[in-house]
Chain A
């Protein structure tokens, strides 16, 4: 990892939102074929702050708002790709992207393959997941598994600001369509992010926290929840390794198997629906390639097979709580720890918790 310090010699810390903004800024500076479009890309809020100032820097030809026409605009982005452009599209909610499913799946994902590799589609689509505050059935969905199932797409899901910047630069540099999933609870997360331009390989997982007893595979907000639980369980004799997949597709199978080879136990936390989900894929892969490494059954956590309810009383049991994670870990390891006694709540708030704000 490269390291940047500020004037007082401290490590440079910025938010996830700023890391994304910086990645776009630096790629746009480097590569004149890149451009940014999205509803609200140039408005005063700048898509959670991630596009602020870009229009001023690169002009309205390269950074622009668009009509509420997701499907056509995606096709237009694909059209510009085959003329050598490298568009970055952003959707304030992944749910709005469903309007563009035809262009994403039928065209963007397959253009390279279906003409025998003559033209590629280096399109990056930022899809923001909007959990919380009653976002409800149509403003909170994470379609990671839906996209990952489509041949030709890559699906990235960064957790840390450091990862967000490096993975976004790589996604834009990549010659394929990349669905870049962001979770709005992460925007205020802070971590060290080097000032310099850097890339991170797509398809490489990251050990967020080292441990020896059990591997918890997760991503985004669930990876942070897992780290929090791991911190609480450590003094109680349970050592959790949190593996942040960073990339849903390609999936870093080696990292997952490597961690299980050490811990022999596996809990997978899905940031989306469990049924037919990314966690299903990971579990199947481990069953096929790492069955002998396991000393206990795999467990999965994540969203039940239900649309997101709006009422706060229902969304509490919809999302995965710290206590759920603690209980699943204990069940797998056959230990008896009382989650609430460790300060791990079964309460799922509909706004990010205290520790979502600070560094982790």
Chain B
């Protein structure tokens, strides 16, 4: 969690240099969902994601070098520079991909779960998406099929109360909960505090148990909050779509700081240990950025290569 936080904060700082020339959606404030879920997964369980995918990718073990090189548009990026920040992939850890069209990967992940079932594989297909994605028809159609065929799919909705600058109140009825929609469609579902990494971890464990015991798909709605602007590295509470007060309330619930305090209090970790970890991570990401900047760009002669599979 600390690693995702520091990586994101460092990338936010580097973004100002204008060398990462693609839209980037940072996940600062939402790290606990990525970490709590992915910690509970096995290597063979697969993960898919959306535009805000850095946390999911890193928590699943995706290569930091591959990610940063991709953000810098380099040929050794995890998507060969073709995709950018919204299209991370690392097949070696079963992070199967992220796309930039809202809800676009939900049915893809159901297709993965469908194949797991057809092939009698035990792995679970996990897909992360936002509250906005639950407004697309794709969400309902995918849940329906997953439930119909009792598929091993874990849907994780990161409910951060906004879609870009649009609050949930202008998009969904206030009296209705996302996890209950899933329940009414026949899925097992739960809502949890997405800023409490332990709660996320435990909920994921029991969700996986349920899926593995043949109960079919499961949906976790994890409430959380994005700290910086929808797309880009800046704080944008001043532009008027949300209040500074609301933001500060959520900052109080900082998932990383809260967990750190807990570890210290329970004497699971010392201040020194955390301090050293922080320094190591800082060095790691700075080294990776230096390295990524020096990598070659894809050659323009490669432009038309790779449109069709051979």
Contacts and interface: CB of A to CB of B under 8 A. Distances in A.
A331 interface: no
B268 interface: no
Interface in B138-191: 138, 163-166, 170-172
Contact of A136 (B84, B138, B297, B299): B84
B303 A317 contact: yes
A44 B238 CA distance: 10
Contacts of A40: 164-166
B241 interface: yes
B73 A68 contact: no
A306 B103 CA distance: 24
The interface size bin for chain A is 35 or more
B82 A137 contact: yes
Interface in A299-325: 304-307, 309-314, 316-318
Given A136-B100, A310-B22, A310-B82, A67 B87 contact: no
B304 interface: yes
Interface string B234-265: 00000111000000000000000000000000
B133 interface: yes
B86 interface: yes
B287 interface: no
A89 to B, nearest CB: 15
A68 B157 CA distance: 15
Contact of A135 (B23, B77, B135, B239): B23
B46 interface: no
Interface string B67-102: 000000111010101111011000000000001111
B171 A65 contact: yes
Interface in A224-273: none
Nearest to B238: A44
A306 B307 contact: yes
Interface string A131-162: 00111111100000000000000000000000
Nearest to B100: A138
B298 A311 contact: yes
B21 interface: yes
B99 A138 contact: yes
A43 interface: yes
B101 A133 contact: no
Nearest to B165: A43
B82 A311 contact: yes
B136 A134 contact: no
A291 interface: no
A350 B172 CA distance: 37
A71 interface: yes
A134 B103 contact: no
Interface in B257-303: 297-300, 302-303
A99 interface: yes
B171 A44 contact: no
Contact of A45 (B23, B81, B132, B165): B165
A5 B82 CA distance: 48
B275 to A, nearest CB: 36
Given A309-B303, A311-B297, A39 B166 contact: yes
A133 B24 CA distance: 11
Given A69-B135, A134-B84, A307 B307 contact: yes
Nearest to B302: A314
Contacts of B170: 42, 64-66
A95 interface: yes
Interface of B: 21-23, 73-75, 77, 79, 81-84, 86-87, 99-103, 132-133, 135-138, 163-166, 170-172, 239-241, 297-300, 302-304, 307
23 contacts: A39-B163, A42-B170, A44-B239, A44-B240, A65-B170, A66-B170, A68-B133, A68-B135, A68-B136, A69-B135, A70-B136, A96-B102, A99-B137, A134-B73, A136-B22, A136-B82, A136-B100, A309-B303, A310-B73, A310-B83, A312-B21, A313-B298, A314-B302
Given A39-B166, A95-B101, 12 more contacts: A39-B163, A40-B165, A44-B239, A68-B171, A134-B84, A135-B23, A136-B86, A136-B87, A310-B22, A310-B79, A310-B84, A311-B73
Interface of A: 39-40, 42-45, 64-72, 95-96, 98-99, 133-139, 304-307, 309-314, 316-318, 350
Closest 8 CB pairs of A and B: A134-B22, A311-B73, A313-B297, A311-B81, A310-B84, A43-B165, A67-B135, A317-B300
